[in-house]
């Protein structure tokens, strides 16, 4: 359970870095794109038009992480929605020809979604005072 919350907050940090570097180009953050220069080549021409949605994604992931750690039902629902969106996105990527990455992402996100939908995980979010799973 803790790992999912950490995953959401890590995603928020990464989306924040990506969004910041796309909105405000020419900073020291631009060097991070060496890790995925292909993605930068595809995203950089759009600048703010894609950077701002990355920043909104960062906020969404951060809020989901907070709700997850506090065991709020809305935190669980938001995490499920985020992961379900990822599953669909990976499926579309695989269909569009990026079979290896899209397929791998689909399997990984799908397994994560199945975990989130397990009754014992869902039950941990049934009330504000729910006990945490370890």
Identify the pLDDT of residue 128. 52
The pLDDT tens digits of the residues spanning 77-91 come to 999 999 999 999 999
Identify the pLDDT of residue 15. 95
Place 26 in a pLDDT band, splitting at 50, 70 and 90.
confident
Model confidence, pTM = 0.85
Q: What is the 3-state secondary structure (H, E, C) of the chain?
A: CHHHHHHHHHHHHHHHHHHHHHHCCCCHHHHHHHHHHHHHHHHHHHCHHHHHHHHHHHHHHHHHHHHHHCCCHHHHHHHHHHHHHHHHHHHHHHHCCCHHHHHHHHHHHHHHHHHHCCHHHHHCCCCCCCCCCC
CA 87 to chain centroid, in Å, comes to 11
Identify the pLDDT of residue 132. 53
For the segment 107-133, the average pLDDT, to the nearest whole number, is 84
129 pLDDT exceeds 70? no
Selected residue with higher pLDDT from 128 and 45: 45
111 pLDDT exceeds 90? yes
Instruction: Provide the residue ranges of all domains of the chain, joining segments of one domain with +.
Output: 1-69, 71-134
Identify the pLDDT of residue 16. 95
């Amino acid at each position: 359970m803790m790992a999912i919350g950490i995953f959401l907050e890590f995603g928020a940090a990464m989306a924040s870095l990506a969004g910041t570097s796309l909105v405000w180009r020419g900073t020291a953050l631009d060097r991070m794109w060496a890790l995925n220069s292909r993605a930068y080549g595809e995203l950089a021409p759009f600048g703010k038009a894609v950077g701002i949605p990355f920043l909104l994604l960062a906020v969404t992931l951060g809020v989901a992480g907070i709700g997850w750690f506090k065991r709020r039902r809305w935190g669980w629902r938001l995490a499920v929605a985020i992961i379900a969106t990822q599953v669909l996105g990976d499926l579309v990527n695989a269909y569009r020809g990026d079979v290896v990455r899209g397929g791998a992402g689909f399997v990984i996100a799908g397994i994560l979604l199945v975990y989130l939908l397990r009754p014992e995980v869902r039950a941990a979010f049934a009330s504000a005072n729910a006990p945490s799973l370890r």
